[in-house]
Amino acid sequence: MSNIAVGARHALPLQPPPKRTHQRILIVLAFLFLLIVAAALRLLIFDHYLPYIEDGNEQNMFLLTQHWRGVGADIYGYNIQYVVDWLHGYPPLYLWLNALTQQATEALAPGQWLFAPDYFYTARLLAALFSIVTTALVVSIGWQTGGAVAGWFAGLIWALSPIVLLEDSAAVPDPFVFFTCALSLTLALRAWTLRNPLWLFASFLAALLTILFKYSHIYVFIPFSIVTLIFLREKPKRTLAWIALEIAVGLIAAAYLVFGYGALGVSNREADQFQQRGIESVLSLDRNLNNVRMALLTFSQSPILALLTGIVVIGGIAAYITARRGGGRVLDWRRVGLLALYSVAGIIVTSGFSRVFEGNIRYVLPVTMALVILWSAGAAQIIITFGRGTMHRAPTIALLTVLVSAALLPGAVSMIQQYQL
């Protein structure tokens, strides 16, 4: 026995079997292809309708940023003082980022006369580039929730969804909100896996950035908070030190927003709605159900995907119960529960300031992101439970990929063609 142990110390490291290495290469290539498709779609649509700007929110962000940069109140034939007064106290991070984008646009065209669409082009391009990274983060969240299969379908739906595609490349804060929400989620799950408080602190910072982009998305702190409670139970002394640091950083940010920036004076439509009927709106069943319906619109717009969603929900639950009773592989219900709680909180918080419709569906897309991941986790559980080995799972994954693509891709391509002048 001792001779075997000694020999083992000097043995060469085991190499992965050729078949497994081949599978890993195929998986990497598949995900790279998915990101290329996501990038291509976003780069084809981000400049839609330019040089015309049809979105008043984009115009407001542009004009307010110009004012921040010291441009007079009368610009491009518009008196922008009403925008300045209306959006006083608006979250600062996108305005800072937009100011840098405008300066970069001017630096790339020295001595040239620039028009408003030139600035919009650069701002939308930046949003589109961030949205590609967001797709990769959605893949990561799906992978950490339900393995590679869940990561694949999460990324596929997010990459191809026409609703996401349009909102992902607008010159407004929301594409960056999607990015920071996804970043905070994936870092929280990574911290949970590694039991590493540094990753969790990074998740906290990403959540804080979300608030600096949009005050209303306070529910982004839920994944971080749940993992913090887990750490607090396991290693209370070490976790308390990190909590103290996070509280200090949070207080500094809050002090700046309240006393240095005047965030409490924000008076846009959403803030007024919350101040006037916030509690009533949060408790409104009709309002919450409407916002659930809008968060699910990505799935319900296509009959194919709507049917698949019903199958995935029922089949995923059945597969989980079957696997659990039979001692098979099951998803971590705690991670599924975390995403479900995040989704419910997102709907309730959003109801406090908006009854969402298609024109402002971006408000619930961070919730849609979590629902996409839950959908993908359900599909993964079905495939893992009822698939008989890799050879039988691969055709199922391929078939489901074709069906999801057939449900979403025609709408995405049609929208790109429709928005080109």
Residue type, 210: T
Separation CA 187–CA 171 (nearest Å): 26
Collapsing DSSP to helix, strand or coil, 342 comes out as helix
Is the separation of the CB atoms in 392 and 170 below 8 Å?
no
Separation CA 63–CA 49 (nearest Å): 19
Strands, E assignment, 76-144? 78-79
Cβ-based burial of 41 (10 A; exposed 0-12, middle 13-18, buried ≥19): buried
Q: According to the 3-state scheme, what is the secondary structure of 44-85?
A: HHCCCCCCCCCCHHHHHHHHHHHHHCCCCCEECCEECHHHHH
Instruction: Tell me which H or E stretch contains 219.
Output: none
- Beta pairing partners, 75: 78
Collapsing DSSP to helix, strand or coil, 283 comes out as coil
Separation CA 250–CA 265 (nearest Å): 20
Predicted TM-score (pTM) above 0.85: yes
Half-sphere exposure of 331 (CA within 13 A, CB side): 34
Q: What is the pLDDT of residue 84?
A: 81
Q: What is the pLDDT of residue 4?
A: 37
Is the separation of the CB atoms in 191 and 232 below 8 Å?
no
Structure tokens at 80: 């922008």
Q: Going residue by residue through the chain (421 aa), what tens digit of pLDDT does each one get? A: 333 333 333 443 444 455 677 778 888 999 999 999 999 999 999 998 888 888 888 988 998 898 888 876 566 666 677 788 778 889 999 999 999 999 999 998 877 788 888 999 999 999 999 999 999 999 999 999 999 999 999 999 999 999 999 899 999 999 999 999 999 999 999 999 999 999 999 999 999 999 999 999 999 999 999 999 999 999 999 999 999 999 999 999 999 999 988 888 777 666 666 666 768 888 889 999 999 999 999 999 899 999 999 999 999 999 999 999 988 889 999 999 999 999 999 999 999 988 999 989 999 999 999 999 999 999 999 999 987 665 678 889 999 999 999 999 999 999 888 876 5
Q: What is the pLDDT of residue 40?
A: 96
Strands, E assignment, 284-408? none
Collapsing DSSP to helix, strand or coil, 356 comes out as coil
Q: What is the pLDDT of residue 279?
A: 81
For residue 287, give every residue at least 6 positions away whose Cβ sits within 8 Å of its Cβ, in sequence order, or none: 281, 351, 355
Separation CA 45–CA 49 (nearest Å): 9
The crossing angle, in degrees rounded to 10, of helices 92-108 and 116-160 is 120
Structure tokens at 400: 């489901």
Structure tokens at 166: 């349009």
Separation CA 191–CA 202 (nearest Å): 9
Q: What is the pLDDT of residue 26?
A: 87
Q: Please identify which residue in the block is written with the tokens 């998740």.
A: 203
Q: Buried b vs exposed e over 391-406: b needs ≥16 C-beta within 10 Å?
A: eebeeebeebeeebbe
Question: Measured between alpha carbons, how far is residue 44 from residues 165, 244, 345, 413 in Å?
Answer: 10, 46, 34, 9
Residues 316/183/361/89 CA torsion (nearest 10 deg): 150
Is the separation of the CB atoms in 78 and 66 below 8 Å?
no
Please give the radius of gyration of the chain, using alpha carbons only, rounded to the nearest integer.
24
- Which among 35, 107, 365 is positioned nearest to 214, based on CA atoms? 365
Is the separation of the CB atoms in 87 and 60 below 8 Å?
yes
For residue 413, give every residue at least 6 positions away whose Cβ sits within 8 Å of its Cβ, in sequence order, or none: none
